[in-house]
């Protein structure tokens, strides 16, 4: 039963992350242009740990391009996981730390500062988050997307401070 709960939690996480935001639809004009000013994002707190997600464009659960923005509070990282598609990540503000592989080792994470860019290759295990300061990142990918945690029966986030 314990593993079943982990699978259900991972599926729930994927569903919440994949929900399209209302902002992009509201900002689309009659010609199809989308404009979202800073501060107009619709943020959701799907994990209960302070990590907020805004879907700016598309629907990650369906085929096609999507754009997510994620706010990371200080001192939290996702545990090792992978995605079925390549993801392109840009750090918009703060310091975002990244690590690769099945072992969660926050002390070995590599800092990415404002303006930094990283590709998460499809199927590559990684973990990421923040330390002393928060960060805002933007992720672009081509769905359908999802999160597959290495240890789905354990907590999906860990503290770094």
Q: How far is CA 49 from CA 13, 93, 131, in A?
A: 12, 19, 14
- Topology of domain 2-159 in CATH is Jelly Rolls (2.60.120)
SS3 content of the chain, % helix, strand, coil (to 5): 15, 40, 45
Q: pTM for this one? A: 0.82
In 3D space, the residue among 64, 45, 54 whose CA is nearest the CA of residue 27 turns out to be 54
Q: Which residues make Cβ contacts (< 8 Å) with residue 115, sequence separation at least 6?
A: 90, 91
CA distance 32 to 15: 26
Instruction: Count CB-CB contacts under 10 A for residue 161.
Output: 9
Q: Which residues make Cβ contacts (< 8 Å) with residue 52, sequence separation at least 6?
A: 43, 44, 45, 70, 71
- pLDDT tens-place string over residues 135-159: 999 999 999 999 999 999 999 998 8
Q: Which residues make Cβ contacts (< 8 Å) with residue 12, sequence separation at least 6?
A: none
Across the chain, mean pLDDT equals: 86
Strands 110-113 and 87-100, bridge-based pairing: antiparallel
Sequence ranges of the domains in the chain: 2-159
- pLDDT tens-place string over residues 8-51: 344 344 444 444 444 445 578 889 898 999 899 999 998 889 99
């Amino acid at each position: 039963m314990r593993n079943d709960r982990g699978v259900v939690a991972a599926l729930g996480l994927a569903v919440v992350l994949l929900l399209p935001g209302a902002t992009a639809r509201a900002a689309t004009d009659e010609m199809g242009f989308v404009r979202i000013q800073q501060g107009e994002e619709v943020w959701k707190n799907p994990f209960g740990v302070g990590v907020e997600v805004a879907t700016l464009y598309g629907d990650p659960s369906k085929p096609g391009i999507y754009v997510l923005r994620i706010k990371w509070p200080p001192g939290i990282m996702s545990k090792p996981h992978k995605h079925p598609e390549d993801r392109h990540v840009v750090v918009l503000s703060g310091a975002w730390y990244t690590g690769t592989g099945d072992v969660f080792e926050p002390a070995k994470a590599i800092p990415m500062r404002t303006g930094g860019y990283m590709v998460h290759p499809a199927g590559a295990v990684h973990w990421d988050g923040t330390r002393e300061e928060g960060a805002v990142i933007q992720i672009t990918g081509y769905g359908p997307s999802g999160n597959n945690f290495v240890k789905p029966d354990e907590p999906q986030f860990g503290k770094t401070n």
